[in-house]
Amino acid sequence: MEAIDSMPIYAKTTKELMHEFAAQVLKPGQVFTRQDAVRWFAEHYPKTKSKTVTMHVEGMSVLFRHRRNQHYAHIRPNAGWDLFFKLNSREFRLWDPERDPSPIYFDDPDWHATKDADVIEDEDDDLGSRKFAFERDLQNYLARNLGLLESGLKLYEDDDGSFNGIEFPVGQRYIDILAVGADGAYVVVETKVSRAYDRVVGQILRYMGWIKGNLAEGAPVRGIIVANEISEDLILATSSIENIRLVEYEISFSLKSV
């Protein structure tokens, strides 16, 4: 998988600095928010980007859902990642192993059995039938082969390489893939395993706006919509938007006797 080469900004990794924040600021049961952590880092380690801080607060929460993604397999037991417990969309506290649920990890056997089952509904099916599709497979393939979408395109990584651009959190929503182009532009990649309709335009523009306002720091932001089929409505909707590109994919395979 291609990724941006990252080195820790300070002698300690952000994960280690998050433990320092917890030791200095938090007491058992004390509630805090992402912004509390951001303010502490701004005072003590100002070179650390606020988004890196917030991603670590989420990722070091024991029930962080993306721990189940193979790209976060480095989050292992007894490796310093199990620090916080998320109370709601805004609030966290220190994880209490005596009363809180056990942490989740990529190799959780109870999760592997169903991790890829996403129901996709085809609007053009008059019978309203549903089909099961493996959208995460498409997402993971593209994350490993971003150069097929654009030469020099690489997966986004945070300051020290702990978290990447797969299902990148933007508020309470998630970008399928956040990448960085050879020109330094941030590239929002939205994947649709079947047909993509014009409503995806508002979705990707919202994501692009969030990246522009919270992460890009003046760098260009553009979008790519990848689907098995691009609807005519989507082509029309994006015809006047210069920084969104449409891409169709197709899968082929062959069999031979041996």
Give the number of other Cβ atoms within 10 Å of residue 132's Cβ.
9
- When pLDDT is cut at 50, 70 and 90, the band that residue 8 belongs to is low
- Residue 107: the pLDDT is 72
pLDDT of residue 247: 94
Average pLDDT, the chain: 85
How far apart are alpha carbons 210 and 171 in whole angstroms? 8
The pTM assigned to this predicted structure is 0.74
**Out of 2-11, 74-83, 124-133, least confident range:** 124-133
pLDDT tens across 181-190, in order? 999 999 999 9
Q: Which domains does the chain have, with CATH numbers?
A: 14-107 (no CATH), 114-248 (3.40.1350.10)
Cα dihedral sign, 168-170-174-175? negative
pLDDT tens per residue across span 199-243 = 999 999 999 999 999 898 899 999 999 998 999 999 999 999 999
